Amino acid sequence: MSWGAENTKSAAVGTTLSAALGLVIACAIAGSRAFFAAATSASVQVGAMVPLLLAVYSVAFQPVLSWLAAAVGVAAGCLVGMSRWRVQFAVGGAVVSALVLFILDLGTGGVPEKLIDHDAVVPGALLLALLCATVVAAIVTTGPRLAEDGVVVPVLGPLASVLVLGGAGAMTAVGVREQNASPTRLEAVHHLGYSAGLLFLTAALIAGIAALEHLRAHSKQEAVST
């Protein structure tokens, strides 16, 4: 491994460990409910980070299309957040995004940069819109439950930021390959499986939180009725 790559990996590991320490402290302060909401927000952000970079690079020379795709994705995510079926849509979006990443990795033979090299503008724009919608939908879905406890700002702000920082450091460390080449911004796209795994984790967290909330509400109703 080159000196630059080793330095990058060491810095990323240090960032991850520092964030992990902050995470332990934050968990003790925030409580389990707030932590899982922050974990959902962080996992979708870290999971989408690398494929978003790939999508942005693929439409870099089409600024109008890239802004349009991002705007459509954000708008779709906001609409999902206002829907009564927001949990189902958020879970479905995360799962679909993860499957798309697996297909992209397999379809390019493990070299996702082909999306950029072959000027695949339309697939890149679609990927950008899908990921933007997935991230926004996942974050918006956690909002109402946090609003009930009055902890939206601290959970989706400092606590989620700690988790995102640690996750980004871990993804950077994973993305630095064991070779003498200097690390580049697109190193991590060779590990889209990790991003897909985080998106599957997001779907599981959203579904799990919703299921727990349903059981909690049901038990409260039974307690009141008795």
In angstroms, the CA 93 to CA 75 distance is 14
More confident residue, 109 or 10: 109
In angstroms, the CA 32 to CA 142 distance is 14
- Domain assignment present for 5: no
The whole domain housing 93 covers 10-26+33-225
In angstroms, the CA 41 to CA 80 distance is 16
Is residue 41 pLDDT above 70, yes or no?
Answer: yes
More confident residue, 196 or 188: 196
The mean per-residue pLDDT over the stretch 8-13 comes to: 47
The mean per-residue pLDDT over the stretch 172-179 comes to: 53
Q: Which residues contact 219 (CB under 8 A, 6 or more apart)?
A: none
- What is the per-residue pLDDT for 161? 59
- Domain assignment present for 1: no
The mean per-residue pLDDT over the stretch 114-134 comes to: 89
Is residue 22 pLDDT above 70, yes or no?
Answer: no
Residue type, 148: E
Is residue 146 pLDDT above 80, yes or no?
Answer: no
- Domain assignment present for 15: yes
In angstroms, the CA 172 to CA 124 distance is 22
- Domain assignment present for 190: yes
Is residue 30 pLDDT above 90, yes or no?
Answer: no
The mean per-residue pLDDT over the stretch 62-75 comes to: 93
Please state, in angstroms and as integers, the Cα–Cα distance from residue 134 to each residue in 79, 102, 107, following that order. Answer: 12, 16, 22
Length of the chain: 226
- Domain assignment present for 155: yes
Is residue 180 pLDDT above 90, yes or no?
Answer: no
Neighbour count for residue 76 (Cβ, 10 Å): 19
- Domain assignment present for 95: yes
Dihedral, 28, 30, 32, 37 alpha carbons, nearest 10: -140
In angstroms, the CA 1 to CA 31 distance is 41
Domain count, the chain: 1
Neighbour count for residue 193 (Cβ, 10 Å): 13
Q: Over 37-102, what HEC string results?
A: HHHHHHHHHHHHHHHHHHHHHHCCCCHHHHHHHHHHHHHHHHHHHHCCCHHHHHHHHHHHHHHHHH
Q: What is the CATH number of the domain that holds 20?
A: 1.20.1250
The mean per-residue pLDDT over the stretch 198-209 comes to: 91
